[in-house]
Structure 1
Amino acid sequence: MSEKCSDYDFIAQVAKALAHPTRLFILELVARERICVQDIVDKTPYDQSTISKHLSILSSIGIVSYEKEGQKIYYSIKHPCIMNFFTCARVFLDEETSSKQNMLNYCLR
């Protein structure tokens, strides 16, 4: 059982790393292309230190990896399968939104 608990602990850590809208946005950018911190900063309202902090969290859990080239650090997705989470979450959102809208429409009749 302890081995299973550690699996769940790790999955919970991954979920915690993904549990921030800014990190989700960053992850989508990184999944599209290898990208440097400044390019991410340019696409968000946040400063470099904030973006770097979020990238550090994603990197520490192993979701993204990085390479330093000169003064720039480039990030890329380490395990593209993590993007399946986005697909699942969007399907869930669409279905729940549709279900709630249908229920509301039924109640309003």
Structure 2
Amino acid sequence: MKAQFFKTLGHPARIRILELPSEREHAVAELLPEVGIEPAHLPQQLAELRHANLVATRKEGSAVHYSPTSPRIAELLDVARAILSGVLAGQAELLADLRATQGEAKPPS
């Protein structure tokens, strides 16, 4: 189940949908400019999130509104962002060290 959960999160559009402010619902028309994918692909991504029970839907007239099923989803994405920031900071430090080491080595004359 855990692997399937993370597989569902494995698409950038789905992550962007879940990263939208969770304090309120979002209509499909609001999601399109925020997610940045072709309009024809958005329903498929929303269906994946619904299937995994990561978003709930509410219909109002012809509009469908989506919201995360748990505030902990935002917490999970915040933790992932913090972990990745740490990894990237470590890589930036390593790159700086490598560049400094290359600067010390003199090219052959």
Paired residue total: 100
Three-state SS of the structure 2 residue aligned to 1:75 is strand
Name which one, 1 or 2, has greater alpha-carbon Rg. Answer: 2
Query: Which contiguous aligned blocks of 4+ residues in structure 1 show a shift greater than 4 angstroms?
Result: none
User: Normalized against structure 2, the TM-score is what?
Assistant: 0.81
Is the deviation greater in 47-56 or in 63-72?
47-56
> Does the alignment pair 1:84 with 2:75?
yes
Structure 1, unaligned runs of 5 or more: 1-9
Q: Distance in 2 between matches of 1:54 and 1:27?
A: 11
Q: TM-score, normalised by structure 1?
A: 0.81
1:41 and 1:30 mapped to 2: Cα distance? 15
Describe the superposition over 1:51-108 as per-residue Cα deviations: whole angstroms up to 9, x where unpaired: 1111110011100000111101111110110222211211111111111111222223
Deviation at 1:44, TM superposition (A): 3.8
Percent identical across equivalent pairs?
26
Per the alignment, residue 60 of structure 2 pairs with 69
User: Which 5+ residue runs of structure 2 have no aligned equivalent?
Assistant: 101-109
